[in-house]
Amino acid sequence: MKKECAVLVSGGVDSSVALRLVQEQGYTPTAFYLKIWLEDELSHLGSCPWQEDLAYVEAVCAQAKVPLQVISLQKEYWDRVVAHTVSEIKAGRTPNPDILCNQRVKFGAFYEYLDPRFQYVATGHYARVIRDSSHSELHTTDDPIKDQTYFLSHLSQAQLSRALFPLGDLTKASVRELAAQYDLPNKDRKDSQGICFLGKLKFPEFVKHHMGEQDGPFIEFETGKQVGTHKGFWFYTIGQRQGMGLSGGPWYVVAKRTEDNIVYISRDYYTDEKMRDTFVLSGCNWIAGAPEKATLRVKLRHGPHFNSASLEKYGNDSYLVKLAERDQGLAEGQYAVFYEGTKCLGGGVIKRYEG
């Protein structure tokens, strides 16, 4: 008997190819399109391509003769992701709504909604799951640029046990080739670069909508002199070197004082007083148990770069992390995700190290 599989489709090439692969692998798929864009943002910030997305989804499903369900998880998205994201921004931290979206909505609220007859949930993420009778492991793909294990690092064993990632052994180039072979209606569609619930809307626009603008000073870290004016500390994160509009740079954001709306910047980013190699990790999610090794690889943001890091216990549910080399920017609220070989162990949230 074929196993029933729910496939999350977005209108993009990746999820469309994943749908066809699931079908070829012998599952009985039903496609699901999640409405998680927000009415309020759309009415204030212009059009979102969700109607275009849905049109592509319908065409892809019709071609594959796969049933499609459209469900709304807008309230769940606001309650579980957006409200937390806005709160973190107001506190001067750097949240990652995509990690929260996967943990709390796509593999959270959607799991709660889904009929139990669906044994698996497939998505177009670039990641691999290796499972046995006792547990599931999350592993990287062979495409270091597209690998998305960073965004999946807060999934639990229960969530991962039902997850299928059909693109796990593929590169982006090979996915594009498959899209052409399948003659998908969206085979030539470009990838979306926006945050997950607002399509093409850029994160700074989302921040501006919720936080507004308020003039504040750019202060040179070394001299204490004001060298410019910004529109709000919430638009900046530690390590940022673009978007300041100042001459004489490059300038880097090195600190923020949220109570006074001050952003400290510097042209000498890597001097000793701007320590960028030690932090406390809290709010940890370890996919298959806490790490046994003291030295691991770590990603501090999505992308191909790894750093080497040591971990030691630091209180009940925290770790002190020491990087082998300084990083471009360690921002509070940012996620650090740890790896042993290709296995993604999980990770936590960066907190300032007072030392």
**101 counts as catalytic:** yes
Please report, for the chain, the start and end positions of each structural domain, with discontinuous segments joined by +: 4-124+166-203, 213-266, 278-351
Q: What is the pLDDT of residue 329?
A: 77
**196 counts as catalytic:** yes
Rounded CA separation 340/34 (Å): 33
Q: Token pair of 117, please?
A: 């007859």
pLDDT band at 331 (very low <50, low <70, confident <90, very high): confident
Q: Token pair of 288, please?
A: 């298959």
Mean pLDDT on 104-133 = 95
pLDDT band at 190 (very low <50, low <70, confident <90, very high): confident
Q: What is the CATH number of domain 213-266?
A: 2.30.30.280
- The kind and range of the H/E element at 51 are helix 50-64
| Highest CATH level, class, for 4-124+166-203 | alpha beta
Q: What angle do CA 266, 255, 148 make, to 5 degrees?
A: 105
Rounded CA separation 303/297 (Å): 13
Q: What is the CATH number of domain 278-351?
A: 2.40.30.10
pLDDT band at 354 (very low <50, low <70, confident <90, very high): low
pTM of the model: 0.89
pLDDT band at 57 (very low <50, low <70, confident <90, very high): very high
Mean pLDDT on 230-246 = 89
Q: Is it true that 213-266 and 278-351 share their CATH fold?
A: no
Q: Give me the catalytic one of 5, 101, 284, 344.
A: 101
Q: Give me the catalytic one of 5, 196, 284, 344.
A: 196
